[in-house]
Amino acid sequence: MPEELRPAPGEIGRHGRLSPDYAQVSLSLDAASLSLDEDHSPPASAAGRLAADYLEAVAELVNNPAAFFHVVVDERFDGGAPGWPNDPLAGARLVPVGYRLTPPIDNQVLVIGAPVESSLRDVLIGATFRKLGEASGGVFGLFLRDRGPGPRDGRNQAGHYYVAEVDDRGEVGIWRRHQEGWVELVPWTPSAALRPAPTSNDVSFEIVGGRLTFIVNGTPAASAHDTELDYGGVGLIVAGVGNDVLVERFVVHALV
C-alpha cells in the first residue's frame, strides 16, 4: 500500500448522499478544469448509471438529490453490528463507542469488508473516523467496487478494488488495487480539509460510472476517472504501524 465518533445530525449529507452544496462545488470544479471541447465522457461500455456526461448528471442531482439514492446500510456500531469482523487478533474489534481498528505488527494494512451485497455499482459510501493515540504516519479511508477474492476480514488485502485514503499529515490519494500491487490514480496530495486528532473526520468516497470522488469533511479533495472495475463490495481500510482508529459510523447509499 502507498506509504506502507458519532456526527452531528446536520452532517448526515456528508455520509449518505451528495448535498446540493457539494454538487454545486463539483460543477464549479469541473467547469474550471475541463474543456467543453474535449470528450471526457466514460466509454459507452462503462457500467453504472452515468450515461454520457458527468456534469449533466451532477446538475440533475442538484435539482432532486433524494430521488437518486437509497440507503443500503447505516451502521453506528451501537447494536452489536452483526456481520462485521470482530477479531482482536486481526486488529478489528467492536467496542461500546464504535468499531476500533488497530493494524497488528504482522499485518500493517486492515481491509475490512462491510456486510452488504457485492454487486454494488454507483455508490456513495461514508464513514466517521477518529484517530486515537499519538502514533504518526497512519492512514484511514474507504474502498469500493471490490471484486475479491475475499474474505475481507482484516487478514487479506489482495485483490481488485478502488481505495481513497487520507493520512494524518492531511494528504489524500486514490488508488486501484491490482492483485498484490497498486495503480496510482491520484498521488498523495496535500489537503487542508483534515481535522487534527482527536477530532473526528467525516470522509466519503463516491463512484458514478468511472468517475471517483473523495470528500473529506464535506470538501471534495481528490477525483479520478477509471473504468477497470464496474461493481463490487465496499468497506474500510486502516494502515500504519501503531495506528489506532475508531470508526463511529459507516453509511452506504446506492444510486437508483
Does residue 137 fall inside a structural domain?
yes
Cα(164)–Cα(147) distance, integer angstroms: 16
In this prediction, residue 80 carries a pLDDT of 84
Does residue 3 fall inside a structural domain?
no
Q: Is the pLDDT of residue 158 over 90?
A: yes
The tally of domains found in the chain comes to 1
Question: HSE on the CB side for 26, CA within 13 Å?
Answer: 27
Does residue 4 fall inside a structural domain?
no
212-255 pLDDT, tens digit each: 999 999 999 999 999 999 999 999 999 998 899 999 999 999 98
Region 37-48: mean pLDDT is: 37
Q: How far is CA 148 from CA 119, 129, 154, 157, in A?
A: 11, 24, 13, 9
Does residue 91 fall inside a structural domain?
yes
Does residue 71 fall inside a structural domain?
yes
Cα(188)–Cα(170) distance, integer angstroms: 9
Helix H segments across the chain? 13-16, 20-33, 54-63
Question: Which residue has 455520509 as its cell numbers?
Answer: 15
In this prediction, residue 40 carries a pLDDT of 40
Q: Which domain holds residue 57?
A: 9-255
| Residue bearing the bigger pLDDT, 58 or 89 | 89
Q: Is the pLDDT of residue 49 over 80?
A: no
User: Quick one: pLDDT band at residue 53, thresholds 50, 70, 90?
Assistant: low
Q: Is the pLDDT of residue 139 over 80?
A: yes
Region 14-20: mean pLDDT is: 40
* CATH classification at residue 133: 2.60.120.560
Does residue 1 fall inside a structural domain?
no
| Residue bearing the bigger pLDDT, 5 or 174 | 174
Region 36-49: mean pLDDT is: 37
Q: How far is CA 162 from CA 154, 182, 192, 219, in A?
A: 16, 10, 23, 20
User: Quick one: pLDDT band at residue 134, thresholds 50, 70, 90?
Assistant: confident
Does residue 81 fall inside a structural domain?
yes
CB 118 within 8 A of CB 146: yes
Sign of CA dihedral 8, 14, 18, 22: positive
pTM score above 0.85: no
Does residue 220 fall inside a structural domain?
yes
CB 1 within 8 A of CB 182: yes
Query: DSSP labels for 17-55?
Result: S--HHHHHHHHHHHHHHS-TTS--PPPTT--SS--S-HH
Question: Which residue has 463539483 as its cell numbers?
Answer: 26
